[in-house]
Amino acid sequence: MSEKRLLLLLGSVVLSMAAARRWHRIRVRYLSQLTTPTASTTFTFLNVATFLAWQLRGRSFKVERWLLENAICSPRHLDQGSYHTLLTHSFSHFDVGHFLQNMVSWLSSAPRLEREVGPVVFAVHCVGAAVSSGLAQSLWTRSSEGMTKDSFFLGASGVISATNVALGFLQPDSRVVLFQTLEMSYLQAMGVIALIDILPLIQGGSGGGRGVVAHAVGALWGFAFIKFGFHRQVHDLWRKITASCADRGPTAGPGGRRLGGTV
């Protein structure tokens, strides 16, 4: 077994164990009130499953074709009406390093943000971050020299950047250890990462610039979602919907019980 396949196997096992542990906690704490897994756990499983599918794509033409049609995004995908790829591209990673880096960052911040705003609001946040960063990357691809309509993009960086920034504004005193040595707030860490992101633009190259666009637009979404109160508006809207359903349903609990304390 090659070193790459061994690393892939070990990484998948570690992430699967982490996801299973979190699912156990969710099952114990929420299952009496929720009928589906929470958003951050679902996003993790989708990323793991899609990553494994990419690694096995050479063994099945149908799997490879499905991935190329649904798990990446490009201007041509959008021109052909495959708008769902604005969301599904955020589940895809090609290489082990990119996948593990994103998942470690995701698991360190996403569950914390979801506990703050609730699973429904968090799911809306993730969809908005994926779509907005996907649109920005598509526009960048169309306007960049040396790139065509078939130049595709993928990855969860936009959603993760949005999640980190949103958590930073919700919990300004939260601390994170960057590069395993530097302890700082989430917002300070995002500033350091933003400076690192600028390097590809300085060095040139549209591909690197497109990655910066994904991070930047994701961060802007996370900022706007919290600072402009969109998370509260989604929360209030969902409470109205559930209250309305509870009033109509003969088997609903008294007063339309809130889901997990938060939405």
Q: Are 162 and 224 in contact (CB under 8 A)?
A: no
**Helix and strand totals (H; E) in the chain:** 11, 2
Helix, strand, coil % in the chain, rounded to nearest 5: 70, 5, 25
All domains of the chain in start order, with CATH = 39-248 (1.20.1540.10)
Report the pLDDT value the prediction gives residue 95, as an integer from 0 to 100.
84
Q: Are 112 and 171 in contact (CB under 8 A)?
A: yes
Report the pLDDT value the prediction gives residue 91, as an integer from 0 to 100.
94
DSSP letter, residue 183 = E
| Residues in the chain, total | 263
The structure tokens listed for 150 are: 């078939």
Report the pLDDT value the prediction gives residue 51, as an integer from 0 to 100.
93
Report the pLDDT value the prediction gives residue 148, as an integer from 0 to 100.
85
Q: What is the DSSP string of 153-180?
A: B--SHHHHHHHHHHHHHH-TT-EEEETT
pLDDT in tens, the chain (263 residues): 455 556 666 666 666 666 666 655 544 444 434 434 488 999 999 999 999 999 888 788 888 999 999 999 999 999 999 999 999 999 999 888 888 888 888 888 898 899 889 999 999 999 999 999 999 999 988 888 778 888 899 989 899 989 988 988 888 777 765 555 667 777 677 777 666 666 655 555 444 567 788 888 998 999 999 999 999 999 999 999 888 887 665 544 444 334 444 45
